[in-house]
């Protein structure tokens, strides 16, 4: 699985002008299931993200996890994270998992993150979404598991 994780003070996702998911202080997680991914990888990604120490402690050091601060997450599916731009000007997305498989892994990842004790809301798989956020730091990490 591949994720782009952003530390945010707030984030929201809308479909057709309606907010369908949001978070306060915590993480915006853009997630993509890749060819060959399975539920074990989704579980590993959820565990990694829940424990990432990217929030500041009282000394100003990135030493606290999402769970430590009691933060929440907004999880948005984004197959374009699988883009291959090495050749030509049009990205290829063949490295992404097929839609049915991607949806199942997206749902599994979100359930696994919740099982880690992280409150989370989601976007709508396969929908055209608008995402708004205030990146805190900014802190943005690319993760492959």
Q: Looking at the annotation, which residues are catalytic?
A: 78-80
Rounded Cα distance between 55 and 68, Å, is 9
Coil, helix or strand at residue 34: strand
Coil, helix or strand at residue 16: coil
Phi-psi region of 26 (alpha: psi -120 to 50; beta: other; left: phi over 0): left
Q: Pull the structure tokens for residue 53.
A: 């120490």
What are phi and psi for residue 23, nearest 5 degrees?
Answer: -145, 150
Strand partners, 17: none
């Amino acid at each position: 699985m591949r994720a782009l994780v952003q530390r945010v003070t707030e984030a929201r996702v809308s479909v057709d002008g309606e907010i369908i998911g949001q978070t306060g202080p915590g993480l915006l997680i853009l997630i993509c299931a890749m060819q060959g991914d399975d539920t074990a990888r989704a579980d590993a990604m959820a565990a990694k993200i829940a424990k990432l120490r990217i929030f500041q402690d009282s000394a100003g050091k990135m030493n606290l996890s999402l769970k430590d601060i009691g933060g929440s997450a907004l999880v948005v599916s984004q197959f374009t994270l699988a883009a291959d731009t090495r050749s030509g000007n049009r990205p290829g997305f063949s490295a992404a998992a097929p839609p049915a498989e991607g949806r199942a892994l997206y749902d599994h990842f979100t359930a696994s993150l919740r099982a880690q004790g992280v409150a989370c809301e989601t976007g709508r798989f396969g929908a055209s979404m608008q995402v708004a956020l205030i990146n805190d730091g900014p802190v943005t990490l690319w993760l492959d598991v």
